[in-house]
Amino acid sequence: MDMGRLGVRTDLALEAREVAARQLGDAIPGVETETVSQDGITITRIRVLDERGSRAIGKQVGHYVTLEVPGLRRKDAVLQEKVSRAFAAEFEAFLAAIGTAPDAKVLIVGLGNWNVTPDALGPIVVENVLVTRHYFELMPERVSPGYRQVSAVAPGVLGITGIETSEIVQGIVEKSKPDLVICIDALASRSIDRLNTTIQIADTGIHPGSGIGNKRKGLSRETLGVPTVAVGVPTVVYASTIVNNSIEMIMEHVRKQTNRTREIFGMMETLQENERLEFVREVLGPLGQDMLVTAKEIDEFIEDVANIISSGLNMALHEAVRSDNAGIHTH
């Protein structure tokens, strides 16, 4: 199945699977899915096992974990702490699953443009992670047990540096020789509800701009030579997606009032979701109005979710930090 033909513009494996499930049913060949929910946090673990699964949902073979927390919009500090702990537990289990040693050296790469708020997730996370590599290099005798070597960089974007991000990161990896690279990036979603409330972890690396049709050279094990884990949060959605969702919500509302929706909506009532979305794009595209849209509270959201991720990474990467946070239980 050609996900591009279906109009799927999303960086989230969960959303790609949802689209495929509407066409193929819940039992998608080559794809395993597990979902658990607790304390307002829904965790979905997706494994794309082979090329059949990869073709079905349009994502690379690998392991994807998604944390959905609609309550993050309430700015609940207690919930944010729970999400940090849940993220830390999932990330630690993720590292164990890909065979990362407890003393493995880690490079964290904060992708994105720090001058554009919806794209500033990576740089903000880098500002808040616990960086330790220089201590191991300069004063190893003063490093307490329970910490590992972690370095971090925010390389900027092509429009600022004139250099492909992948080239910068490849140079850093070649010189600093980490055992693992963690890439943090803002993502694109096809659902308004998932903006700033969803975190995805993937062991397939990351391809900057893929969710908005601006494909750049990826950061992955194949390009960097070391295991590469991607962490992302959807911060933008296409205007056409918002229009399409709004049409569906209007039709659903009218269906509750009358059974004469066919007379009211005409052909629109019979279109599949992807067909309706493509119709909306055909209208907005030539006018230059299929814009990328973000929430008006993006400044607050991006700070909150960046703090959740940085706190979770600190706990997952450093045993000493985990032990200092009472009540944190990891897999």
CA 111 to chain centre: 12
CATH number of 13-237+296-324: 3.40.50.1450
Q: Could you give the 3-state DSSP secondary structure of residue 162?
A: coil
* pLDDT digit string, tens, across residues 103-120: 999 999 999 999 999 999
Q: Does the pLDDT at position 25 exceed 70? A: yes
In the prediction, which pLDDT does 9 show? Answer: 67
The ranges assigned to domains in the chain are: 13-237+296-324, 241-287
Q: Tell me the average pLDDT across 28-51.
A: 94
> φ and ψ at 137, to 5 degrees?
-75, -40
**Cβ(151)–Cβ(106) under 8 Å?**
yes
pTM beyond 0.75: the answer is yes
Question: For residue 245, what is the enclosing H or E element?
Answer: helix 239-255
* pLDDT digit string, tens, across residues 123-140: 999 999 999 999 999 999
* pLDDT digit string, tens, across residues 216-251: 678 999 999 999 999 999 999 888 888 888 888 888
In the prediction, which pLDDT does 329 show? Answer: 35
CB atoms within 10 A of CB 54: 17
The band of 192, judged by pLDDT with boundaries at 50, 70 and 90, is confident
The band of 327, judged by pLDDT with boundaries at 50, 70 and 90, is very low
The band of 4, judged by pLDDT with boundaries at 50, 70 and 90, is very low
Q: Which has the minimum average pLDDT: 92-101, 121-130, 263-272?
A: 263-272
The band of 215, judged by pLDDT with boundaries at 50, 70 and 90, is low
- Apex 307 CA angle, 34 and 152, nearest 5: 95
Q: Tell me the average pLDDT across 71-75.
A: 91
In the prediction, which pLDDT does 8 show? Answer: 54
In the prediction, which pLDDT does 201 show? Answer: 97
Query: What is the percent of the chain where pLDDT is above 90?
Result: 60
Instruction: Please tell me what DSSP assigns to residue 129.
Output: S
